[in-house]
Each structure stands twice: as C-alpha cells, then as structure tokens.
Amino acid sequence: MSDQVVVVLAPGFEEIEAVTPIDVLRRAGVDVVVAGVGATAVQGAHGVTYQCDTALEDILTTPRAIVLPGGLPGSENLGKSGAVKELTLKVHKSGGICAAICAAPALTFAKFGLLNDCTATCYPTFEKEFDPSTKHSEDRVVVDGNIITSRGPGTSLEFSLKLAAMLVGPAAADEIQGQMLARV
C-alpha cells in the first residue's frame, strides 16, 4: 500500500466536494493524487474543467485512501467505472480508507457492497439505493470503520477535516481547521 490518497474525478463531479479534500489534505502534508476516470482533464458539474495528475487507469499501486466526490452525473459515472470499483475494493480490502460524499456513497459504495451492515449517510433521497442492511444516518459525516461518508457540498469541509484526522491525526486536523478559521 502506498502513502498516497487518490481523489477520483468523473465527468460531472461536484467541484466543491473534490477541491475541498484535495486542499485540506495537501495542507496536512498528505500526498494527494487527483485521478480522472478515463482522462486527465475532467469537466465538473458546473462546467469547469480540471486538470488531473493522472488517469485513474494508470494508478498501479493501492493507495492509503480513495476519495469519491459526488454530484450528478459524476456519481453515476463513478459507479459505472470498472476501474473505480476495482481500486475502491482494493483499498477497502487492504484496510485503507474509503471516503465518499453526496450521491457517491449510494451510487458507488452501496453498489459495490461496501456499505452492507454499515452505518452511512449520503445526499437526501439517495439512501433508497442502500442495501437493507445499511443503517442510514442523517449525521453530516459518518465514520464506520475505514469508511467515511458525508451528505453534500455543505459538509465538504467537515468531511475533509475528518479524513485528515484519520490520516494524519486529530491534532493536525484541528490545527488546519484553526488556520482556516473554520467552525465545524
């Protein structure tokens, strides 16, 4: 397992849900790789094209964590990608952190079977995609073992800080939160 964290962008991703964890984790000194599904330039849900570090299909090692931003049709595109499923399952099986926000927990992790017998959250109404064994929570950020889920754009900073706390420790995440003047 590498020390890298891979943030995966699929066409139609929610920009704030991608940029916030990239920014927070890089502030924390984490080696973040931005990977595009099938491309290195990916357009977000609001028409802005982002340049990725690599195509997802070129990732050869198992990262320490994978982060899936939500948005539509971004979450649907993530869920349709065999490469996203393969890497997510590798990370999960290796004990790494799997993090998803907005519609992505329902349209990827639930679809891949990762949320079975877990507690999770997602953007309102998408919980209907959860397996019956998944306990839906309306908390803004939910951690169940090595799986982090969150609700949507307004929870992006909390989601990112929780991910940072799990990767580099709560004290470092608290320091970043203070430097950002964030109240979460």
Within a 10 A sphere around the Cβ of 170, how many other Cβ atoms?
12
How far apart, in Å, are the Cα atoms of 102 and each of 4, 17, 59, 72, 178? 23, 8, 24, 9, 25
52, 98, 102, 118: which one is catalytic? 102
Tell me whether residue 102 is one of the annotated catalytic residues: yes
Question: Which value, in Å, is the radius of gyration of the alpha carbons in the chain?
Answer: 15
Distance of CA 55 to the CA centre of its chain: 16
Question: With b meaning 16 or more CB within 10 Å and e meaning fewer, what string describes 2-18?
Answer: eebbbbbbbbbbbbbbb
Q: Cα–Cα–Cα angle for 182, 146, 88, nearest 5°? A: 105
| Residue 147, CB-side half-sphere exposure with 13 Å CA sphere | 24
Helix (H, G, I), strand (E, B) or coil at 144: strand
Catalytic positions are 102
